[in-house]
Amino acid sequence: MHEPVTLSQLQAALKVVARGQAFHQIPPLPHNDLSPREREVLRWVALGLENEAVADRLGIKVKSVADMLSRVKWKLGLQTRVDLARYYLGLHLVTL
């Protein structure tokens, strides 16, 4: 669980965002057994794109996206798109 955010931390974050900068860094994925393409698909799904949009963006078939997502879920021991997003954003504790 995360610590509560203080008022001063919130104010500092808002100043960073007001300057057009990001205040949250997405953690690197620790799993080396994901292929670069699987990582790319995971990234776009975690950021909210549907399979069709991921396929269009990457120039691959929708079925390929679905197949990769199934493999990624299996490799990471996850079940849903929400689990994938939480994992990608560093909000999901995975036990290996």
Q: Note the pLDDT tens digit of each residue in 17-45.
A: 678 766 555 555 555 688 989 999 998 99
Instruction: State both tokens at 75.
Output: 């490799």
Residue 75 domain boundaries: 24-88
Does the pLDDT of residue 6 top 60, yes or no?
Answer: yes
Percent of the chain clearing pLDDT 70 (strictly above) = 75
* 70 within domain boundaries: yes
pLDDT averaged over every residue in the chain: 81
* 55 within domain boundaries: yes
* 62 within domain boundaries: yes
CA contacts within 13 A on the Cβ side of 78: 22
* 80 within domain boundaries: yes
Residue at token pair 């610590």:
3
| Cβ pair 50, 62 in contact under 8 A | no
Instruction: Tell me the CATH number at 81.
Output: 1.10.10.10
* 42 within domain boundaries: yes
Residues 6+ apart with CB under 8 A from 47: 85
Question: How many domains does the chain divide into?
Answer: 1
1 pLDDT band, cuts 50/70/90, is very low
Most confident of 2-6, 18-22, 52-56, 73-77: 52-56
